[in-house]
Amino acid sequence: MRFFICLFFLIPDAPPAPRLWPDPQHLTEGRITTLGCWVPPACPEDTVALAWDGPASRVAGAKVQPWTPPDLTVFPPATGISLDFNPTWYHDKSNLSCLLRGADGKTVAQTTRQLQVHYAPRDVRVEVMPTSPVHEGRQVTLSCHDSANPPSFAYSWSLNGLVLPSRMDKVLLQSVQVRDGGAYHCHATNIVGTIASHPTILEVYYAPRDVRVEVTSPVHEGWEVTLKCRDSANPPSRTYAWSLEGQILPHSSAQLRLWPVREADGGSYRCQATNVIGTADSPPTLLEVYYRPRNATLTVLTPLPVLAGTHVSLHCELGLAHPPPSTIQWLRNDRHEANTIGPTFSFIAEPTRASTYRCVGQNVAGSTQSPPLAVIVWYPPQAAWVRQSPRGELVAGRGPVRLRCEAGVAEPPLYNISWFKGGERLPASGPNLLLPGPEPADTGTYICEVRNVAGAARSAPTTLNILFGPRSVELVPEPGEDVYEMTSVALHCRVSAQPLPDAFEWFRDGRTLGRASKDLWVLRAVGIQASGRYRCRATNSIASADSPDVTITVYYTRATILRKTFLGLGVGLSSLLLLGTLGCFLRRRWQRQMAADEEPVVEPSGTFFLRNKKPRPPASPQPPHTADDTISYSSLVSPPGSGPVPRVQGDTVVYSILKRNDGAAKATEGPDYENVPSGPRGRAGDRDGDGDGTLLYAALALSPPVTPQEHAGGMGDTVEYAALRH
């Protein structure tokens, strides 16, 4: 099935007129407005364009851009443009056109509208009738004019910033007054806004009023003062006249200058002000002129000089002054001393009162001083004091010390000086006392006395503390230098020093025993070893010094002597018993060895000999041997052999040295050898008659055995020994 649609187009001969949206009838100044212009779709082969024309389209900030009408749906779409601009008052009643132009740029159709722009009042101004200035009392009308769309419907007024009650465009002043003059503003209001006019001055002319004299009063004589005539007038006053106490003065300006002010310038002043309207006078104004006392004279009612404690009266006489001084000021040495209401000043003469006095008459205008008057008071020296040089720490022998006596003021100033130490008068006189050392004996309290005919004064005590290092150091043992053991000995270190020593050190036989901050050192339960030479050393901040040596001897007590005697006897008897037992044992063993088989069994593979390296001295008679005799042995040797060295079982071998009864004969023989393992050589020695010896040394520890090569080279075959005591 086929469908056919027929479309019919009606194409007019003339192009359609552009259409505006919305209708631009009521615009408001200051509000951004958007207007649209459009035409129905044109034939595809036609080219058309829209444009705006009119003052509104050419205003600064106007913007033209493509636009599609709202709520319009056609195909092909309609052609449209928009105009965004800010309407102003001069756009009111101007034309705005939308132009339709063809392909050749010519306008083929247009639509024009007259703009209606609402704007706030402008060119607001105030008119004054009659024109300003006006004389006080005249009728004045003020009118408010403006231009607005829509016209202003309300007005308000202000004078010098104050709101007036009128709400009309006119203000009527029936009888203008001075207070009505000033700056007027009118405010016009329509639906768009309110605008105020520029100020309009209403000037009211009137005669001078409120005339007055301005002056700073009172004034002081000699100052400069200006009297000013003040008034309120419009126009301002042009001429002025002055009078003093009714007498016309030769001045016609608004200011009267007086310089310098004199006493005669004081009085009642008036001024008169005149302008084109009239004349007015001021009330009287008093100018008061102050001046200080014309002169001052000081006299003394008590004969001078005066003694301390005497009553003194001074009298001050002043000249004329305005205002009169209420008090009189008294100066001593040009410093304030007192104020009195009357002309007399009295005081008791004291050393501090001996000064130069003045009286001063003073008021608000100034002061006048009298010539100076010297009051002389005789008095003893007020004070005395001692100055020490140098100050600070004084050390004996480190330079002289000077004491200088100084005194305060005295009248008369002639006086004598005396020195005292510890209450005793010194032969020195004069202001200086010299201590050349100084010496420790100079330590003490010093006072100087200053005396004149009126009396004497003593200084405060000045204490000299002479520092010196330790002197006369002495070590004193208690209970004494000879003590028994187990006694405690107190060592006192006596010393003279300033300041006192802060450290002590004790010595025995030159070695330090200890240190302490006190002068006492205690040896508790001393023994024999505590005997020796003792001394102490004292130290302060100045120096150190040692005492002479003191010898302390410690003796045994009787009990110790008995105990050591018995102990020695016991040890001696025990030693003899032990040696006897050991000798018997060795003797029997030796006899058993001698009785043994001719060929002894020698397990070691070598023979070792003990050799005395020291040659025996020739035979000579000798005293019996004592316990202090010694024989020095130096080595243990093994004689060289052709075969392997016999080895001894074990590392220990027993040998002995025999003390013979026939020692003298034996000493002539060669070196002693003792065969350590028993053998024939040992027996031969026994046959030589050596069977009565005593064994003193028992055992020998040997080093590990050596090889024949080591023995042949002499390495390791000697053992060094020190001594053997018989």
**In sequence order, what are the beta bridge partners of 306?**
377
User: Which pLDDT value is given to residue 594?
Assistant: 80
On the 0-12 / 13-18 / 19+ scale of CB atoms within 10 A, 341 is exposed
d(CA 244, CA 288): 12
Look up tokens 């009239």; give the residue: 278
C-beta of residue 29 within 8 angstroms of C-beta of residue 118: yes
Q: How many CB atoms lie within 10 A of CB 712?
A: 13
Q: What is the CA radius of gyration of the chain?
A: 73
Span between the terminal Cα atoms of the chain, in Å = 166
Length, in residues, of the chain = 726
Q: How far is CA 521 from CA 514, 525, 536, in A?
A: 8, 13, 9
* Phi, psi of 416, rounded to the nearest 5 degrees: -110, 155
Rounded CA separation 449/419 (Å): 6
Dihedral sign of CA atoms 161, 164, 168, 173 in order: negative
Q: Are 612 and 671 in contact (CB under 8 A)?
A: yes
Structure tokens at 26: 């009521």
3-state SS class at 582: helix
Q: Which pLDDT value is given to residue 358?
A: 96
Judged by DSSP in three states, 179 sits in: helix
Amino acid 186: pLDDT:
96
Interstrand relation of 117-129 and 27-28 (parallel, antiparallel or unpaired):
parallel
DSSP SS3 for 350: coil
Q: Distance between CA atoms of 411 and 374, rounded to whole angstroms?
A: 13
Strand partners, 126: 144
Two structure tokens written together for 411: 């009248």
Residues 157 and 164: their CA atoms lie apart, in Å, by 5
Q: Angle at which helices 558-594 and 680-687 pack, to 10 degrees?
A: 110
Our CA angle for 615, 619, 621, nearest 5°, is 130
Q: Omega of the bond prior to 12 within 30 degrees of 0, cis?
A: no
Instruction: Give kind and range of the element (H or E) at residue 573.
Output: helix 558-594
List, in order of start, the domains of the chain with CATH numbers.
19-115 (2.60.40.10), 122-202 (2.60.40.10), 207-290 (2.60.40.10), 296-378 (2.60.40.10), 384-464 (2.60.40.10), 467-555 (2.60.40.10), 596-725 (no CATH)
Residue 352's SS3 state is helix
Are the C-beta atoms of 656 and 586 separated by less than 8 Å? yes
Instruction: Beginning with the edge strand found earlier in the chain, give each strand of the sheet holding 117-129 in spatial order.
Output: 27-28, 117-129, 140-149, 170-173
CA-CA distance, 1 to 287, in Å (whole number)?
A: 132
Cα–Cα dist 723/319, whole Å: 133
Closest residue by Cα to residue 604 from 561, 647, 546, 558: 647
**Neighbour order of strands in the sheet with 107-114:** 49-53, 95-101, 107-114
Residue of 548, 441, 472, 542 whose CA lies nearest to 501: 542
Backbone CA torsion sign across 12, 15, 17, 20: positive
pLDDT score recorded for residue 394: 86
Closest CA to 150 of 125, 115, 119, 124: 119
Closest CA to 180 of 132, 145, 230: 132
Burial tier of 395 (Cβ tally within 10 Å: 0-12, 13-18, 19+):
middle
Question: What is the secondary structure of 510-548 as a DSSP string?
Answer: TEEEEEESSSEEEE-S--GGG-EEEEEEEE-SS-EEEPP
pLDDT for res 239: 94
**Beta-bridge partner residues of 725:** 630
Q: Compute the C-alpha angle 418/419/420, nearest 5°.
A: 130
Tell me the H-state helices in 307-445: none
Asked if 169 and 143 count as a contact pair (C-beta separation under 8 A), the reply is yes
| Predicted model pTM | 0.37
Token digits of residue 164? 């007036």
Alpha helices for 57-190 (secondary structure H): none
Within 10 angstroms of residue 556's Cβ, the number of other Cβ atoms is: 14
b/e sequence 559-580, b meaning 16+ C-beta within 10 Å: eeeeeeeeeeeeeeeeeeeeee
Half-sphere exposure of 45 (CA within 13 A, CB side): 0
602 Cβ contact partners less than 8 Å away, ≥ 6 residues apart: 646, 677, 679
Q: Are 41 and 74 in contact (CB under 8 A)?
A: yes
pLDDT value of position 347: 94
Choose among 492, 564, 478, 563: nearest CA to 526: 478
Q: What is the model's pLDDT at position 660?
A: 42
How far apart CA 290 and CA 433 sit, in angstroms, is 64
Over residues 152-169, the pLDDT tens digits come to 999 999 999 999 998 999
Distance CA 231, CA 211 (A): 4
Percentage, residues of the chain above pLDDT 90 = 45
Kind plus residue range of the DSSP H or E element containing 666: helix 663-666
Q: Give CA–CA dist 257/417, Å, rounded.
A: 70
Tokens read off for 619: 């035979």
Q: Which regions of the chain are under pLDDT 50?
A: 1-9, 598-726
Round to whole Å and give the CA distance between 472 and 493: 10
